[in-house]
Amino acid sequence: MLLHSENVCTPKTSALRKRLHSENVCTPKTSALRKTPALRKTPAIRKTPAIRKTPAIRKIMTKKTYHHSPTHLFIDDTPYFITAAIYEKRPLLQSPTIKTMLLERIKHSFNQHQWELHHWVILDNHYHILGQSRRGRVLSVMMKSIHSFMAYHIKEATQASSPIWWNYWDYCPRDEQDYTIRLNYLLNNPVKHGYVTNLNDYPFSSFFQAVDEHGVTHLRQQFREYPEYRTLVLREAYNDDF
């Protein structure tokens, strides 16, 4: 009876009871419920910069069409698959020295414009590149720099007549699967065109880089999982066989 009559939450004194009741001493949770600043403030809902700003969607529509030349897309921060070919498919890149010089020039130009060079293959009359853009708008400037420099040295080495280069074509893979199919196509290019029967025997590609990065087992699985590279047609290059 003593414990019941002296319950902390029901004091005997009526005045004290009224004061405690008015001050809500025995129901602290109620006051906590009334104070809900988190419910009143919803900054995360009001601030949606990603929805208001969609630069990638706007830039994907940026392109330039040239008379008698392919259309080029200029997209920032996106993968690119680039193909370039010698005029009339002459074997002007046949020399290992020329191939090495071309690769070094590609690396220099990509680095200068802060593009990433992921993979590459250079054959006797064309080459393929997989990379990542930073500013898509510099694509034309970058390719002109590569081809102007190489045209001079190819003429000196081969006495070939102008023009040296036919053109270049660019394509932006839509997703990881599309990218991997293009990568397989690039790596398999020396086999496709009959230069070798084993990729280990062709030194002018990033195949050995891919082996170092991922291992032979991974690459074999990649070729098995994405066999579409065997029938891929480069529609951006007017369905030509590169």
Residue 233: pLDDT band with limits 50, 70, 90? very high
In tens, the pLDDT along 131-154 reads: 999 999 999 999 999 999 999 999
- Residue-wise pLDDT tens digits, 111-132: 999 999 999 999 999 999 999 9
Across 59-66, average pLDDT = 50
Between 42 and 127, the more confident residue is: 127
Cα 105 from chain centre: 22
pLDDT band at 76 (very low <50, low <70, confident <90, very high): very high
Question: Distance (Å, rounded) from C-alpha 183 to C-alpha 171?
Answer: 12
* Contact of 166 with 172, CB cutoff 8 Å: no
Q: What is the mean pLDDT of residues 213-218?
A: 96
The domains located in the chain, with CATH, are 67-237 (3.30.70.1290)
What six digits make up the tokens of 45? 């809902």
Q: Which residue has the tokens 């680095």?
A: 111
User: What is the C-alpha separation between 234 and 79, in angstroms, rounded?
Assistant: 16
Average pLDDT over residues 200-210: 97
